[in-house]
Structure 1
Amino acid sequence: MRFVRRRRDPVEVNLTPLIDVVFLLLIFFMVSTTFETRQALELTLPESETGTALDAAPVTLVVTADGDYRLGERTLSAAALAEAMTERATQAREHGLVLEADARAAHADVVRALDRAGALRIDRVRIATRETQSPSTQAERP
């Protein structure tokens, strides 16, 4: 007796749905990941009870405890501060300037930065602070 052989189709695995899922996962993780563009810098900001949270301005000037300045990714001395701020003055006039001064920074260093901002007609200068911790939270700290 002769059996009729059925022709078998070749078995295929469709990878299109798998590729779609992988791309969706990749997009999800890219969008949900926060990217930190600032370099690690040890700053102790002064406390404020009446401060309000604001979005970060594009121009941020950091005054360190050592009296150095950081504008964007560049570390500057007091002598180079004027030239660097002049380069970013137009952007700072448009969006404002955020001054992040270390709590241990000398008052003269902060005044120098504010004076330079005033000379460049930067009117919107915000000083970054951190929230005052409640007395119960301060007692719990080591």
Structure 2
Amino acid sequence: MKFPRRRRDPVEVNLTPLIDVVFLLLIFFMVSTTFETRQALELELPESESGQAMEAAPVTVVVTGEGDYRLGERVHTAGTLGDALAAEAEQAREHGLVIEADGRAAHAAVVRVLDRAAGLEIRRVRIATAAAATTQAETP
């Protein structure tokens, strides 16, 4: 006895719901992710009339008005600054070190950074300043 063969429908996978879910997940992660570049510190940089524009250096030490030090994303005290700077010394020797000191910071705090840099043989040290505001008197 010969049985008739059933005709099978071709198997299809509908990708439309899968694509919808992927796009919804992509939108969810894009909206819920925070993009944090660098925390802003309220610094009053000293003004300089003879300052020159420079490229950003990979090693930057920030001296706050309270006398704290910030290297990268970590806050350091005077005691831990030397070890933290020693970890970045090779890169600082190659590309230079930038010191961003608040105008209200004590002179001793800036000298401490310069002293640690000299002890690690970092020779290219720059101090960040703000451009001086030039005011011209109006003539009658």
- Per-residue deviation, 1:40: 1.1
CA distance in 1, matches of 2:38, 2:113: 20
- Per-residue deviation, 1:135: 1.8
Identical-residue share of aligned pairs (%)? 66
SS in 2 for 1:110: helix
Runs of 4+ in 1 over 4 A off after TM superposition: none
Q: One-letter code of the match for 2:76?
A: L
Q: One-letter code of the match for 1:42?
A: E
User: Which structure 1 residue ranges, 5 or more long, are not aligned?
Assistant: 1-34
- Per-residue deviation, 1:36: 6.8
- Residues 1:80 and 2:99 are matched in the alignment: no
Q: One-letter code of the match for 1:117?
A: A
SS in 1 for 2:112: helix
Q: How many residues align?
A: 103
RMSD over aligned CA atoms reads: 1.5
User: Which structure 2 residue ranges, 5 or more long, are not aligned?
Assistant: 1-34
CA distance in 1, matches of 2:47, 2:96: 21
- Per-residue deviation, 1:37: 2.3
- Residues 1:121 and 2:114 are matched in the alignment: no
- Per-residue deviation, 1:88: 0.3
TM-score (normalised: structure 2) = 0.71
CA distance in 2, matches of 1:77, 1:103: 18
Q: One-letter code of the match for 1:52?
A: Q
CA distance in 2, matches of 1:95, 1:52: 17
1:12-68 residue CA offsets vs partner (Å, 9 max, x unmatched): xxxxxxxxxxxxxxxxxxxxxxx8722110000000000000011000000000000
CA distance in 1, matches of 2:41, 2:132: 21
- Residues 1:54 and 2:54 are matched in the alignment: yes
Structure-to-structure mapping, 1:97-116, within 5 angstroms: 97-116=97-116
Structure 2 residue aligned with 1:19: none
Q: One-letter code of the match for 1:122?
A: I
Structure 1 residue aligned with 2:71: 71
CA distance in 1, matches of 2:135, 2:36: 31
TM-score (normalised: structure 1) = 0.70
SS in 1 for 2:61: strand
